[in-house]
Amino acid sequence: MMQYTVSKAAVKKATARLGLSKAQAQNVLPKYAQGASFVWTLDSTSGSQSVFDNPREHVRLVIAENGTILDVFPADYALQSPHALSDHVLQSLKEATRNALIAKRDAVHRKWCEVEVEFHSNSYEIARRRLALIEAAGDEELRIKRRLAQLC
């Protein structure tokens, strides 16, 4: 089990946001971290940080790689105001949303390109078969008409 330490900033935020005293925050926040589950990773200039949720206590924590609790707020805190989030969390949310939208756009565009290529190759084959139908006779004509029916 990982041992967590609490930063002074996290204690201040816990007193303001959760209504805990300083002593309570020092004791309770590591327990919240023990019961929390990983949500996503924050890429910051000061090192790797991760966001954890403790659904039982309705708390979200930002924890550094070394086990220091850096930020804490109620789970629905982000819904109250975007100004309530720390700059690191807000920037990470923006980047994650942007990257997800770009990935979705690229996937849709790839699929659209595949459909376009298939459509044009199908159109090309139809044109070739119609041209061959002009000169065909008998069984060859019947075979080309069947293939055209399949393509159309």
User: Which residue numbers in the chain have pLDDT < 70?
Assistant: 43-47, 77-85
Q: Say yes or no: 77 and 110 in one domain.
A: no
Could you tell me if residue 52 is inside a domain? Answer: yes
CA 89 → CA 55, 85, 98, distances in Å? 19, 6, 14
Q: Say yes or no: 30 and 68 in one domain.
A: yes
Q: What angle do CA 149, 147, 137 make, to 5 degrees?
A: 105
Domain span at 62: 5-82
Q: What is residue 24's three-state secondary structure?
A: helix
Which of these, 55, 87, 53, lies nearest to 72 by C-alpha position?
A: 53
Could you tell me if residue 91 is inside a domain? Answer: no
What is the distance between the alpha carbons of residues 25 and 31, in angstroms, rounded to a whole number? 10
Structurally, the chain folds into a number of domains equal to: 2
What is the distance between the alpha carbons of residues 127 and 125, in angstroms, rounded to a whole number? 5
- Residue type (1 letter), 146: R
The residue from 82, 111, 137 where one domain ends is 82
